[in-house]
Structure 1
């Protein structure tokens, strides 16, 4: 929605320079910016903004990088404040009560009056959907599910029975929440399915990417805590606990009963064995492997297979690069030793 530069600066708690009455209508890249666009500029590897660079209506940037005649909001963290500004200029959509005629809703479901239901949505008995939520085409909400306020479920999201979502949860297309975990017991001849009778709880402000799956607990709860952000194509197994504001990148697989504590960051294609634990604030780089039962200590960055502190990984990686040279040296030494033994050398 339109907002003036001075109003936006006030909402962000920041100072501004230039034309405070200028109306901003959108966030934008630098290339697509116009007189009503907001852009940001950080100082990483960059010099001051030149007058001929700035086509946008306003820029969020450090004060010392802004030319005197520009309209700008001063910020020490431009990218963060730009993201905060986006919530005012491009707020998330909210349901208005629109229901497509093809939606199938149980008479035993409780749905707030301003919930949107797209084509071919299915809502089971005992489900509860809070105010302002939006269910796009083909969403299936199983029996006994609970969806909080202002949630957005994109096309083909599936909630198995008994799943709980907090407020402002966003599930992108194809996400499947609450399917059975992968648990079997071998009796010597066949795999016997272990009960998958638990549930999934996804707390407030969680966002989950396309085609990600979160399995229900086997006998307990799989929990994604408030503010966690999970990328596309992530597999989260039964009884996993994901802490507050954890970030997990694409194609990561997390085995059962693993715990990832608050504020950890997990890169893409990381593999976790079962019952691993990642302590608070740890960072694990892409394609790392975390062995079953491994404890990854907090406050450090880790890499590699098996996962190890980054400093150790770099040291070993440097040695791996020297292996051909080291092999050649060893072969020469072996040859010299053989010649000495054969009496060919003095």
Structure 2
């Protein structure tokens, strides 16, 4: 059995242990009403599995939102707030978020702001949400194509990681979560990074351990810096350029929609290149990082005319201050540096490096 992880103000439980704790929690709290937030995909594929782990007399109102990052916005929040109000939710109600990162981000924000805050529980159903989105208390929504511009930091009462949920996940969604796990190795622990160098003998049981180790890495960072004053910024490695690429592709009808992890994978290659240029990151490790990431993620065509638009999005990055664009880079694997500035010429060189890589 995977042991629980203690976080700032809440605990993370795994698999059957999580449902045992949830049943105890609901009995202890005796909420006035229980609401479950899902999207159309998790309603179809995951809700019955969740309900099968609850008591026979368990009742809840299910609220379903449309699936996809494009619906992670304040309009969807308004709809959920309205439904909660119409269904008689009060300050003693609880919202259980069963879904991927969109559901846990948006549901956490809805719960944190409805009647100035009601209880919520996160049950992430995607690998990305398990190792990243639902851990650390960041909640929020996008502002147009700009990622996570509106939100609050607030933690759930309980977080349950049920890896059985992953059996319903398409391969591309599994890879999307893998990007954040790779990032945790790069910024924190070279031994953890090395676990991903050869997954040919990989078993599903190994995944449980890797997921828990990934959560432990993120939690250690968050516990030391819950409000993102310094160390927590390292979790944004790959995200400065990755988010800009993701936002540009999201709002451009001529571009394929990139999953979060697909965009972050590109961002990590670009920012590892910048690390070699600016921080002396070893060149042979740059080649290794590039090779490993491209073994998991397809190469994405980024045209020369796209670059000025992508760079324009950098000014919206949440790490920026006083008009400066701040990068998280690496001196070595497990040795990050925050608040690094560079110029557009080096950023363009990083895209040129990505472009010449063999698929």
Question: TM-score of the superposition, structure 2-length normalised?
Answer: 0.24
Q: Going by fraction, where is helix more abundant, 1 or 2?
A: 2
Question: TM-score of the superposition, structure 1-length normalised?
Answer: 0.25
Q: Going by fraction, where is strand more abundant, 1 or 2?
A: 1
Bigger Rg over Cα: 1
